[in-house]
Amino acid sequence: MGGGILITKAVAVVLVLVAVLGGSVQSVESAIGVNWGTISNHRLAPSTVVDLLRDNKIQKVKLFDADPDCLRALMGSGIEVMVGVSNDLLATLSSSSAAADLWVSQNVSRYMVRGGANIKYIAVGNEPFLTSYGGQFQSYVMPSITNLQQSLTKANLANNVKLVVPCNADAYESSLPSQGAFRPELTQIMTDLVTFLNSNGSPFIVNIYPFLSLYSNSDFPQDYAFFEGTTHSVTDGPNVYYNAFDGNYDTLVSALNKLGFGQIPIVIGEVGWPTDGAITANVNAARVFNQGLINHVLSNKGTPLRPGQGPTDVYLFGLFDEEAKSVLPGGFERHWGIFSFDGQAKYALNLGLGNGLLRNAKDVHYLPFRWCVVDPLKDLSGVSDHFKLACTVADCTNLNYGGSCNGIGERGNISYAFNSYYQVQKQNSRSCEFDGLGMVTFLNPSMGECKFLVGVAEEVVTEHVSVGLQLYRGSVIVWLLIFWGFGVFMI
């Protein structure tokens, strides 16, 4: 209850600020953007990535943090950027206006100079209301928004940079779209949040994943997850739903309607389909889903509850595979990219941006074309520990059931694991030893759809410690000079 009172007061403060600034809803041109995730052992240089975005006419990009290397590369590009505050920082930002000032100064203001980065949104947390979090971030969201809004105002950026909160679709629930409602425990905070968003001219951001519905429910009709027509349509009064995306979207619209904000703009923060790591994750399914989604959204047909009015923007998830991500949700979690780690398009896809099919990254510098495989003459009785080591450090999710490398046999599996480890180690000669079981070859061991990678040489090495990381790591924050307005010291 105390958290609820704090949240309500936080909203009141923010709304006063918005009223003073004269915030209003701004109309923007709908477009397809991308999520640029960086949890990878094989990262292209940010400048190469920005060139890739430009070559594909992608004008909107969403980051999950405020990575300085990415933001520096985006400066002068004109590409619209959403930066992110991680959930782990919310507690600090919610309790300290000085910490919020510092975060805005170091992660927004410094890049928004003449010829700088075009930062339009700050995502306050990432799916902070997710059921699996058990409410641990819930009470921090609105106080963080209050402090960040005040910081933007001080920096004269409040009219240009909008605060948003990407929500998972599990924030609302219903058996039919027309009955959609936010989870009961979220009703008050969602009312506060949407009131702020509406007054500040910010959209409601939601992540929708039909793939996860199919993956987690064996009874979910597969054709309903796509846009190609279905024999499992859902009838809801006078409305008929032919795909899961529209049904999910209109469930949110109904939930917003119940709060009195049925017309607030909606942005899809994440949506996509993985290409590997699970039986329903493959290149063809990803191509069919993403192309169907793009065609559907850009047709401006809208949905039954919002006819002729689709999402304001849609950010595909994601730009690249991220082979260092956690596989707790499933092996597919590392394979959402429309491009592979080296910027090569995985399949033919037209983003609807007037550029035709995806164009590959240029001037990618690879490591030497050599691979580590198991020595065919060696006995494999002692290979188990080496295999586990390799797959702990590197990505072996392609070997999962349903994965692209699942059927290459025992020695093929071991070679794949050895090579993945070898490439992560930048082809260090000792990383292919495995007690004499490994050997380096110059013959590409790829088999059919199973591709043995060669790493990229353009490794990003960041020596700085970001402000976000400083705030998170700072175990003790000394406030001695706050009362004098001098700021915060970190120990």
pLDDT, mean of each 10-residue run, the chain (491 residues): 39 39 39 96 97 98 98 98 98 98 98 97 98 97 98 98 98 97 98 98 98 96 97 98 98 98 97 97 98 96 95 97 96 98 98 96 97 96 96 98 96 98 97 97 97 84 41 37 35 30
Active-site position among 80, 173, 185, 270: 270
For residue 490, the model assigns a pLDDT of 34
Active site residue 333: no
Active-site position among 29, 80, 127, 463: 127
CB 140, CB 90: distance < 8 Å: yes
Report the C-alpha gap between 386 and 441 in whole angstroms.
19
Active site residue 463: no
Name, in order, each residue with C-beta under 8 angstroms of 115's C-beta and a sequence gap of 6 or more: 75, 76
For residue 458, the model assigns a pLDDT of 62
Please give the torsion angle defined by the CA atoms of residues 236, 238, 243 and 247, in that order, rounded to the nearest 10 degrees. Answer: -50
CB 477, CB 61: distance < 8 Å: no
